[in-house]
Amino acid sequence: MLVKDNFEKIEKNIEEACVKVNRPKNDITLIAVTKYVTIERAQEALEAGVRHLGENREDGLLAKFEILKDKPVWHFIGSLQTRKVKSIIDYVDYIHSLDRLSLAKEIHKRADRTIKCLVQVNTSQEETKHGLAPEETINFIKNLAEYTNIQIVGLMTMAPFTDDEAQLRSCFQTLKRLQTEIQAMHLDYAPCIELSMGMSNDYSIAIEEGATMIRIGTALVGNEK
């Protein structure tokens, strides 16, 4: 499938989900996750009109950053080793996987500007998933004040890979509830306006539950080189 055709279909689904819950379509930022695919395929996504790209590894990010002609907004979405911060920090606009103080400290130290970060929350409580437990999240954010190069623009989660709609909704609702709590704290370093949730198989539900950023790989650019 051409990226352009997938893109049109996804745009239509985004619109439908927005209409269903009475949200404006431009609330939603579509991030094309290009981690599985070639630079050419990522370029095809940009030509189709995608403006945001997501990568989960240092090498994938750096290779595409160098070569892509159009400059997208870059999202780092994968679990981030502390020692890799130095090599990606100049290339990313958003980091979606902040999940520990040692990582916050390193981002603060290596950045020469404000880095927009999302705190990753393990809303499904699956052991294999990264992220903070929901009940740890508020305290974690309270402890970030000293890292002045970090702005907490939102929260991110990965729902389990399942067709169980109730379970998906429950994960997304947990993230939304935390966002409401954090916004009520009125921390100037944590406006927390974004909810990064929803992937190829669950983005319509995520939008219904309040997503502002959806991260789509397979359904948009495919998952084969």
Ligand X SMILES: *Cc1c(COP(=O)(O)O)cnc(C)c1O
Judged by the rule CB under 6 A, the positions of this chain that interact with ligand X are 33, 35, 56, 77-78, 158, 199-200, 215-219, 223
Smallest distance from ligand X to CB 191, Å = 22
Alpha carbon distance 53, 61 (integer Å): 9
Alpha carbon distance 130, 16 (integer Å): 31
Smallest distance from ligand X to CB 103, Å = 15
User: Which is nearer to ligand X, 158 or 190 (by Cβ)?
Assistant: 158
Smallest distance from ligand X to CB 37, Å = 10
> What are the angstrom distances between the C-alpha of 62 and each of 87, 129, 174?
9, 25, 33
User: Which is nearer to ligand X, 130 or 187 (by Cβ)?
Assistant: 130
- The CA-based angle 104-123-212, given to 5 degrees, is 75
DSSP letter string, 110-153: H-SS-EEEEEEB-TT--TTS-SB-HHHHHHHHHTTTT-TTEEEE
User: Which is nearer to ligand X, 134 or 217 (by Cβ)?
Assistant: 217
Which single residue brings its beta carbon nearest to ligand X?
217
User: Which is nearer to ligand X, 22 or 128 (by Cβ)?
Assistant: 128
User: Which is nearer to ligand X, 66 or 224 (by Cβ)?
Assistant: 224
* Contact status, residue 25 vs residue 18, Cβ threshold 8 Å: yes
Smallest distance from ligand X to CB 162, Å = 12
User: Which is nearer to ligand X, 174 or 189 (by Cβ)?
Assistant: 174
Which two structure tokens, joined as six digits, stand for 27? 């609330």
Smallest distance from ligand X to CB 163, Å = 13
**Three-state DSSP class for residue 95:** strand
**Three-state DSSP class for residue 29:** strand
Smallest distance from ligand X to CB 96, Å = 7
